[in-house]
């Protein structure tokens, strides 16, 4: 927890909210009446279409029209609609008043902001969590009810439930909340899925500063039994905060995503993964060299996958870092999500790799591919595809007419990309931690050439190897989007396609 947030929790505890929580815990949950979803009179976010042209406003990434956003929450696909809920402050551009904002999309690319879905109640603020479709009506809220499980946060962190029977338009809180009672402030971010073989729901919960993941199981989403604890020592990273887990199935194998803050690949926040087996109660990680990173950049945190998408596993992350998130120069909104990424468990050098590639639905906003010259000639955002030889070192430079530039150095001998973020990249003055002298990402590919997919928006650069074996996501704040290209070093081929604004 960063210093400010820690302070907030401490203040809540001091204000006696811990005692108030205990008093609220129902003796017999089943006897409690249900409550409507809004705990107070927080206004619904105005749903504004168009007009998102402020400096740095992403054109192909989801941002709320205004106010603060952090983690993606409650991601669920239902009836042709992708739902994205998210940590949201309905009252301002800083972290606070944590609620679930809501947006919907037919394709995970074009989003429509919806009214705020859940705001604080007597159990506390609404922290991160997930949503599932209860196809078999195990909870008794109705067949295909959308059931959201989230952390009720005050001086303590407990797990609560709310459900929707109108496809996510409105939620009713379960009267038996919290469904998992807890006495301390380090248990949060429930991610729930249905485990076919055991015929049970499984929940992964993060232990914050206490590190590790707790697994619970339930027949009905309301009654939960502790099943196991997962923890792994990470060399040289003693004081991490574990957050936002997701246990994802790939056929016979399982991958556990865990976001850590601090302790990411460079500084502040990052998302690691473990590969292993899961038997319905216990996750056992393979003996690999952990931590393995989902993304080698600074700005992909708290990412989890959509539920109810069958074999397809698509994640979206919060494109920011707790190290400086409160200071990034964006107004009236603060923070964007990453582009949605399809995850696949692949291999490189005999070892498993969790690969991520931007979803094919991005084609829906893409223009025709054309050869990339020195002027890229794109207005809103673009995808650049460069195939480059690995016989020599080479440098890919994206720049703008103000002389600001983002440089990717492809190092042939070590087969990695090295880049930096500093005053030459754009504005870094808002926070001392934003400049990063050197970030390194292994290409994780074979062969004499590598193909890179580079997605550039007004204030971000996301770099992937074409097969997804490496991802590197970074925020940047240039005066104008980089729209020039130079490549030096060895032979290459480059093409570009414009990505049209999702707001036009």
Name the residue nearer to ligand FRU (CB basis): 87 or 444: 87
Report CA dihedral (61, 65, 71, 77) to the nearest 10 degrees: -70
Q: Is 323 in the site for ligand FRU (CB under 6 A)?
A: no
Q: Rg of the Cα trace of the chain?
A: 22
Rounded Cα distance between 286 and 260, Å, is 20
Q: Which of 75, 98, 179, 450 binds ligand FRU (CB under 6 A)?
A: 98
Q: Which of 128, 154, 458, 483 binds ligand FRU (CB under 6 A)?
A: 128
Name the residue nearer to ligand FRU (CB basis): 267 or 418: 267
Supply the minimum distance, in Å, between the C-beta of residue 124 and ligand FRU: 11
Q: Is 127 in the site for ligand FRU (CB under 6 A)?
A: yes
Q: Are 395 and 488 within 8 A, CB to CB?
A: yes
Q: Is 71 in the site for ligand FRU (CB under 6 A)?
A: yes
Partnered with residue 497 across adjacent β-strands are 383
Supply the minimum distance, in Å, between the C-beta of residue 318 and ligand FRU: 7
Transcribe 204-226 into DSSP letters: EEE-BTT-SEEEEEESSSSS-EE
Q: Which two tokens stand for residue 229?
A: 């604890």
Name the residue nearer to ligand FRU (CB basis): 12 or 98: 98
Q: Is 246 in the site for ligand FRU (CB under 6 A)?
A: no
Q: Which two tokens stand for residue 184?
A: 């301390």
Residue window 148-177: x/- pattern of binding to ligand FRU, with contact defined by CB under 6 A:
---x--------------------------
Q: Which of 302, 381, 439, 463 binds ligand FRU (CB under 6 A)?
A: 302
Name the residue nearer to ligand FRU (CB basis): 244 or 461: 244
Supply the minimum distance, in Å, between the C-beta of residue 98 and ligand FRU: 5
Kindly report the CA angle at 365 between 257 and 410, in degrees rounded to 5?
Answer: 55
Report, as residue numbers or ranges, the catalytic residues: 71
Name the residue nearer to ligand FRU (CB basis): 120 or 173: 120
Partnered with residue 476 across adjacent β-strands are none
Q: Are 299 and 319 within 8 A, CB to CB?
A: yes
Supply the minimum distance, in Å, between the C-beta of residue 261 and ligand FRU: 7
Contacts of 359 (CB under 8 A, 6+ apart): 108, 109, 314, 339, 340, 341, 342
Backbone angles phi, psi at 481, to 5 degrees: -55, 140
Write out the binding residues for ligand FRU, residues 191-210 only, by CB under 6 A: none
Q: Is 336 in the site for ligand FRU (CB under 6 A)?
A: no
The dihedral through the CA atoms of 433, 438, 444, 449 has a sign that is positive
Would you give the DSSP letter of residue 4?
H
Name the residue nearer to ligand FRU (CB basis): 296 or 322: 322
Supply the minimum distance, in Å, between the C-beta of residue 479 and ligand FRU: 29
Q: How many chain residues bind ligand FRU (CB under 6 A)?
A: 12
* Of 121, 117, 170, 113, residue with least CA distance to 145: 170
Name the residue nearer to ligand FRU (CB basis): 326 or 352: 326
Q: Which of 45, 63, 67, 70 binds ligand FRU (CB under 6 A)?
A: 70
Q: Which of 113, 189, 380, 404 binds ligand FRU (CB under 6 A)?
A: 189
Name the residue nearer to ligand FRU (CB basis): 110 or 334: 334
The dihedral through the CA atoms of 382, 388, 390, 392 has a sign that is negative
Looking up tokens 């964006």 gives 330
Helix axes 3-14, 17-24, angle to 10 degrees: 70
Q: Which of 61, 188, 207, 421 binds ligand FRU (CB under 6 A)?
A: 188
* Of 422, 401, 419, 396, residue with least CA distance to 481: 401
Residue window 9-48: x/- pattern of binding to ligand FRU, with contact defined by CB under 6 A:
----------------------------------------
Partnered with residue 213 across adjacent β-strands are 206, 230
Binding site for ligand FRU (CB under 6 A): 70-71, 87, 98, 127-128, 151, 188-189, 243-244, 302
């Amino acid at each position: 927890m960063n210093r400010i947030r820690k302070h907030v929790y401490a203040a809540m505890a001091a204000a006696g909210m811990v005692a108030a929580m205990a008093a609220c815990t129902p003796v017999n949950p089943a006897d409690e009446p249900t409550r409507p979803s809004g705990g107070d009179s927080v206004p619904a976010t105005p749903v504004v279409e168009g007009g998102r042209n402020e400096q740095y406003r992403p054109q192909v990434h989801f941002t709320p029209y205004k106010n603060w956003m952090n983690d993606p929450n409650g991601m669920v696909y239902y009836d042709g609609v992708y739902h994205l809920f998210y940590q949201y402050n309905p009252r301002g551009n800083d972290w606070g008043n944590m609620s679930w904002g809501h947006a919907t999309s037919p394709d995970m690319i074009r989003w429509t902001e919806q009214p705020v879905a859940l705001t604080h109640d007597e159990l506390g603020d609404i922290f991160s969590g997930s949503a599932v479709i209860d196809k078999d009506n195990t909870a008794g809220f109705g067949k295909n009810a959308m059931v959201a499980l989230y952390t009720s946060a005050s001086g303590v962190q407990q797990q609560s439930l709310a459900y929707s029977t109108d496809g996510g338009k409105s939620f009713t809180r379960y009267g038996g909340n919290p469904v998992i009672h807890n006495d301390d402030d380090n248990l949060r971010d429930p991610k729930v899925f249905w485990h076919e073989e055991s015929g049970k729901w499984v929940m992964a919960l993060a232990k914050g500063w206490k590190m590790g993941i707790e697994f619970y199981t339930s027949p009905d989403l309301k009654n939960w039994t502790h099943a196991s604890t997962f923890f792994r020592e990470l060399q040289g990273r003693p004081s991490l905060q574990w957050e936002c887990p997701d246990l994802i199935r790939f056929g016979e194998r399982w991958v556990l995503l865990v976001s850590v803050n601090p302790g990411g690949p460079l500084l502040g926040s990052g998302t690691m993964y473990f590969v292993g087996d899961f038997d319905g109660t216990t996750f056992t990680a393979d003996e690999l060299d952990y931590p393995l990173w989902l993304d080698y950049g600074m700005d992909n945190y708290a990412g989890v996958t959509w539920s109810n998408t069958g074999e397809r596993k698509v994640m979206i992350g919060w494109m920011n870092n707790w190290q400086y998130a409160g200071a990034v120069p964006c107004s009236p909104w603060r923070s964007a999500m990453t582009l949605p990424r399809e995850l696949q468990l692949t291999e490189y050098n005999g070892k498993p790799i969790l690969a991520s590639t931007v979803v094919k639905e991005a084609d829906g906003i893409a223009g025709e591919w054309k050869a990339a010259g020195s002027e890229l000639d794109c207005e809103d955002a673009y995808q650049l595809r460069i195939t480059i030889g690995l016989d020599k070192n080479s440098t890919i430079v994206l720049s703008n007419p103000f002389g600001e530039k983002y440089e990717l150095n492809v190092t042939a001998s070590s087969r990695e990309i090295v880049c930096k973020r500093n005053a030459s990249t754009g504005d870094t003055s808002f926070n001392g931690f934003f400049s990063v002298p050197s970030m390194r990402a292994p290409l994780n590919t074979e062969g004499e050439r590598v193909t890179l997919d580079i997605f550039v928006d007004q204030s971000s650069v996301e770099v992937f190897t074409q097969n997804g074996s490496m991802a590197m996501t970074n925020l940047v704040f240039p005066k104008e989007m980089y729209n020039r290209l130079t490549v030096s070093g060895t032979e290459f081929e480059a093409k570009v396609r414009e990505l049209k604004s999702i707001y036009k």
